[in-house]
Amino acid sequence: MPAGTLLRRGARRRCPVCGQGKLFRSWVRMVPECPRCGLVFDRLPGHWLGSWFLNICVVQLVVVLILSIGVAATWPEPPMWIIGGATALSAVLVPFLFFPFSRTLWCAIDLAMRPLDYDDGVAPGFMLSEDQERLELERSALHDDE
């Protein structure tokens, strides 16, 4: 699957594999796997460190932009208490507001770097409700051959 498709879906808080929405029970509580294709989002131990890093990078970018634009727009006498307050407020609010986007974007980035294997139990186009029976038959046939 093209990386652009994965990233577009991730930026819209959708499953990078199938495009399913509704991946969050609340703003900060993500479901463990996609309800449509069955993709397990936490693929490895420490998987979410990447989303934390992505969130921190976005927060730093927003803080620097607010600070730079605020000083440049009010130069030569910038009101530092207003600019400082806006910067501090953004440093508190942006991580919370960007949190679900960082999660789905990180899943997309991870899938672009480490594409799905057969062992991941899901493939593009896989529909959990429709293909579950077929998958179980294939798995039982594999175990019967052993």
pLDDT digits (tens, 9 = 90+) for 12-51: 999 999 899 999 999 999 999 998 888 889 888 899 999 9
Predicted pLDDT at 132:
61
Say whether 24 sits in a helix, a strand or coil.
strand
Predicted pLDDT at 117:
74
Looking at residue 120, what DSSP letter applies?
G
Q: How many domains does the chain have?
A: 1
The rounded distance, in Å, linking the Cα atoms of 47 and 41 is 8
Average pLDDT, the chain: 88
Domain range for 133 = 3-145
Which residues are within 8 A (CB) of 139 and not within 5 positions of it... i.e. 6 or more apart?
none
pLDDT, tens digit, for every residue of 42-89?
888 899 999 999 999 999 999 999 999 999 999 999 999 999 999 999
Residue 33 main-chain phi, psi, to 5 deg? -145, 160
